[in-house]
Amino acid sequence: MEPTPVDLAELAEKYRTLAEMRRRELAGHPPREDAHYRAIARKYPGALKELDQLELDEIDRREKELALAARTGEVVLWMRVVHAYHGFLRAALKVKLAYRREKKGGTDALSGAALAVLASDEAGFAITESEIEELLLPGRCRVVPAATVFVAARTGASLGEVRAVLAIRATRA
């Protein structure tokens, strides 16, 4: 699950785009009224929360550090956290949608193993069948708390570290 140089460069671009969005908002342009917001939210679920929560200086710092890491290969914990978080959220949202479609259609054609493959393909790293089953348990409709637990377990970061990196307030899982 270590981010590749390409992953790091893409994350750097995400932060560059977030910085541009913030600067546009600060200049008085209407927020969130163009396709750029929807596109970044689709590719990086949770990114708009970062836009809301992080200071512009922090967004700029992250972009520069990620661009450097993409060139040098020197990856630090916060980069792993961001990479894993976006990947897991993308995968979780896709799996939940596929699962709901199957249930709505009255079929159970997608097994836990098939959903794990779907999630892993979407995330770009392995997500196990048991992790998918946990996500789909009744009452587990909130993917952000599930993502923070997943990221902490996979990266070795504490839940507090994950929340701090992602500017997430603590919530009940």
| Domain spans in the chain, listed from the N-terminal domain onward | 5-72, 77-166
Q: What is the pLDDT of residue 72?
A: 97
Question: 89 Cβ partners below 8 Å, 6+ apart?
Answer: 45, 46, 143, 144, 147
Average pLDDT over residues 53-69: 96
Percent residues over pLDDT 90 in the chain: 47
Rounded distance between C-alpha atoms, residue 143 and residue 110, angstroms: 20
Q: What is the pLDDT of residue 32?
A: 67
Q: What is the pLDDT of residue 139?
A: 65
Rounded distance between C-alpha atoms, residue 158 and residue 42, angstroms: 26
Top-confidence residue, 104 or 3: 3
Average pLDDT over residues 25-38: 80
Token pair recorded at residue 172: 């009940």
| Averaged confidence pLDDT in the chain | 87
* Residue 98 in this model has a pLDDT that exceeds 80: yes
Count of Cβ atoms closer than 10 Å to residue 47 Cβ: 24
Q: What is the pLDDT of residue 31?
A: 66
Q: What is the pLDDT of residue 172?
A: 40
